[in-house]
Structure 1
């Protein structure tokens, strides 16, 4: 919340960020942006943040998946 989320909030088109503890050591995050350019910039910033701050703590490199929202409630 103090290091990474403020970086995302600076990306143009930022809408929301969610971090989920799925249990069993599995964590996932979802970032929502107004457009593809914002989403791609967030991936670059996340990669830099992980490399500089978290890489030694992660047993596996993060997996990145992107797509368009097709339904919302």
Structure 2
């Protein structure tokens, strides 16, 4: 099964926005598990997977993303 081109382009644009808005200095200062979770979210946009990896409750993980400057739709 092949994804439609419009979907691929939309996902790439969202990934680009997340990368550009991120505060990489802050992200690199995080503990390894949280840093990996934030980076996974930036690359894949998989909120619940990244949240589970972080070990934080969903609300706390979203707050962490906001502090990291990561664009959240």
Q: Do they superpose with TM above 0.5? A: no
- Looking at both structures, which has the greater relative contact order when contacts are Cα pairs under 8 Å and sequence separation is at least 6? 2
Return the TM-score normalized by structure 1: 0.29
Q: Give 1 or 2: higher strand fraction.
A: 1
TM-score using structure 2 length: 0.29
